[in-house]
Chains A and B, each alone.
Chain A
Amino acid sequence: MADTKLEPGAAVPELSVTPDKYVPHRYAGASGDFNPIHIDAEFAKAVGLPQNILHGLYSMAQVARAATQAGGGDPRSLKRLAVQFRGMGIPEQEIKVTGTVREVKDGRVVVDTVAEQAGNQIVRNAEAELEPDFP
């Protein structure tokens, strides 16, 4: 992890994860967000969605995880994360998080990141700021 050189233009290690069918239910329990569009396929279809969808903040947590790994793995290395949610994430399909170092300034590394499922961006324009080498 820490052996990736964090210099402008460098790719950070890719993270891939396939949330199983019940991840939205477990995430609802862990986070307290029980919005039925995430846990009830029938409700989701009734409001025009293809099926129940992942929580955006679950997908953001995958981006945070990828960024923290790029920073060496210590949770203190992640200082800021800004994201946009766009396409809908769904369970049982691989999420890939990729990123490229944009700049390094005063010990802070800015990484542009994207999370996608089958080419569909679910978190886009993500900007992570890292202070690696903790502690």
Chain B
Amino acid sequence: MAEAPIGKQYPSFEYEVGREKIREYANVVGESNPVHHDPEAAKQAGFRGVVAPPMFCVVYSAGAMGPAILDPEMGINLMLMVHGEQVFEWGEPVCAGDTITTTAKIKDVFEKKGMTFYVFESESKNQDGQTTVKGTWTNIVRGS
């Protein structure tokens, strides 16, 4: 394993949240609460607009995580990589019309039981600077 660039930060990624994208995501994962589909229901519940299910964070974070995981300096063998662990901590809800900016960095790289663990951290903020989610992503590469 090459010397890992722990602490390395990647360029931030901006994502504009669309109502239809929220609906598409909510439909696939089975989130049927009307606040994820109907602007009126969302407003009555106190949201600015159709609100994203919490796990929609993976959609707006993906563009920031890709370059970190694919970074040649990390040398991750994608063929042998599995998603091992995931933590999300949510803050301000994300609604249609929001612009979310996510930054990712390398938190840790370590070996255990013949496997290499790559731990990434992400933080996403909305257009008002409020944190919407913090993520800890652990990918495991076997026998590297």
Using a CB–CB distance below 8 Å, which chain A residues touch chain B?
Answer: 17, 23, 26-27, 29-33, 47, 56-58, 60-62, 64-65, 68, 73-76, 78-85, 135
Taking the nearest CB of chain A, how far is it from the CB of B63, in angstroms? 8
Q: Which residues of A contact B28 (CB under 8 A)?
A: 23, 26-27, 29-30, 58
What residues of B have a CB within 8 angstroms of the CB of A29 in the complex?
24, 28
CA distance A62 to B53 in the complex (A): 11
Assess whether B35 is in contact with A31, with CB atoms less than 8 Å apart: no
B79 contacts A by Cβ under 8 Å: yes
Q: Does B6 contact A (CB under 8 A)?
A: no
A79 proximity list for chain B (CB < 8 A): 89-90
* Chain A contacts for B53, CB-based, 8 A: 61, 64-65, 68, 75
Say whether A57 contacts B45, CB under 8 Å.
Answer: no
Distance (whole angstroms) from the CB of A135 to the closest CB of chain B = 5
Instruction: Determine the chain A residues whose CB is within 8 A of the CB of B30 once the complex forms.
Output: 17, 62, 65
Q: 28 A-B Cβ contacts within 8 A?
A: A27-B28, A27-B29, A29-B28, A30-B27, A32-B59, A56-B86, A57-B55, A57-B86, A61-B53, A61-B55, A62-B30, A64-B55, A65-B53, A73-B33, A74-B45, A75-B35, A75-B51, A75-B53, A75-B54, A78-B54, A79-B89, A79-B90, A80-B89, A80-B90, A82-B85, A82-B86, A82-B87, A85-B86
Please tell me the size bucket of the interface on B: 20 to 34
Which residues of chain B are near A76, meaning CB under 8 Å?
Answer: 93
CB distance from B45 to the nearest CB of A (A): 7
B88 interface contact, C-beta 8 A? yes
B90→A78 contact, CB < 8 A: yes
Contact between A80 and B88, CB atoms less than 8 A apart: yes
**Within the complex, which residue of B21, B52, B84, B89 is in contact with A85, where a contact is CB–CB below 8 Å?**
B84
